[in-house]
Every structure is written in structure tokens, then in C-alpha cells.
Amino acid sequence: MKSKLQQTLEKKSKVITAELMPPRGGSPLRSLKIAQLLKDKVHAVNITDGSRAVMRMCSLAMSKLLLENGIEPIMQISCRDRNKIALQSDILGANALGIKNILCITGDSVKAGDQQDVKAVHEFESVRLLQQIKNFKEGIDPTFQELPDKKTVIFSGAAADPGCRNQISLKNRMKRKKDAGAQFIQTQMVMKKENLFMWGPIAIAFICMMYSVGLGLSGMTQEAQYSAHWPGTILLFTIAINQLKRQ
């Protein structure tokens, strides 16, 4: 069964999410009290994974605790602190525990944290992590041809920073994430009007693309072919308008 987040996005309805940091200690009670304030007010709650390179309870445990309390989590997985095998194990573990939403991130630099002697791993980064989840969803084993204990059911997402100064690099990386299997995108909060205007067409184009894919998967091939040009047309018009503004 699909997650509530995936179902809502596929209906093209408005989605509201929140973010919760796990506790810095062994008791989840304070974090769960905060999470209860969000219950039935948001579609899902992001559970951070070592945000800002600061020690906290693992996102896997906190995500499972939210599920047990009737709150849908978006489990973040950072590539900074684990090698490939550990990341693969966490994905499979999340799937087994009923955690369906995973946000793939590379992770903040360890220099941002409060333990300066920590060593980063970074065997994977977010694009390779997305590809790994995609492989698991297709039943592909990292070593053998197929997973012996069934494929996974994960709704995988990617992160983006609308405030990034190098927009060309950002767009190229977002394309790589989409090609690697990203099914949804979450950004940092958009505080500047110009960033909102810049990302609006990209968001619309992404929705149109998913709409066209959905038509194709449902057997409506003619409608899918008709709508397939919409994303490119939207982006081309956006580029043309931006060029005219610069002249």
C-alpha cells in the first residue's frame, strides 16, 4: 500500500509536511509530545538524520516510533556517516518496519558539528543512494541478480536548495536525482520572491511530467504522448522569458 504522502501527491493535492529532530538522548518522550501537536495537521513529518553533524537518536528508530503513534514519517537518510552496506541495511530495515517515505541526502559537513574529530564516510552520496533504493524497488540485489526476500516498496525523495547561487549546477543535479529514481522533491524554505518565481515553472514542469508518466502507466498511451511535451514547453518558455528580461 502506498504512503499517504505518495497518494496525496499523486492526486495533485496540496501537501503539508513538518520537520522534527530526534532527541539528543535515550528518551523519545519529548519529541513524541511535539510530534503529537502535528498529528492530523500535516501529511507527514520529516525525521532528520544527524542534521548539522550533531549526534541525535537515529532517524530509523524515531520514524518507527512516529508510525506507532499514528503519524506518517519521512525518514531522512544521510550518506555522511555510513558505508554502503550500512545504508543498504537501513533501507531494507525501514521497508520491513513499514516506513515507506525516505528522503535521500548527502549530509552536512562534519565541520558543522560539535565533534570535530569525527571522520565522514561518504561512500555514497544522494544520487547513488537514490539509485540503490530504485534497485531494491526493482528487486535487484547488489551482488546477486535479484533479492531473495522480495523487493522493497519505498517512496524515495530528494532535497534541493532554492537559494543555491549556481542554478545551472543545481538544475543538472536535480535531473540526475530524478533519473536516479527521485519521486518527490523537498526544498529548504523559500523566503525570497525571486526564488519562488524561479522554482515555480520547474515545479509545474515536474508535475506535468509525472502526470504524463501516470497516463502511460495506466495504458492511456495517446494521452501520454500528447502531454509528454508539456514539461519541455514550460521550461523553454521560462528560459525565453528570462533571456528577454536580461536584454
CA distances from 6 to 43, 48, 102, 156, 226 (A): 10, 19, 11, 10, 25
Confidence of residue 194 (pLDDT cuts 50, 70, 90): low
Residue with cell 508539456: 230
Nearest to 196 by CA among 222, 173, 163: 163
Lowest mean pLDDT among 80-94, 133-147, 217-231: 217-231
- State pLDDT tens for residues 55-68: 999 999 999 999 99
CA 207/CA 40 separation, integer angstroms: 25
Residue 102 pLDDT exceeds 80: yes
CA 154/CA 136 separation, integer angstroms: 9
pLDDT confidence of residue 34:
93
- State pLDDT tens for residues 160-169: 987 777 878 8
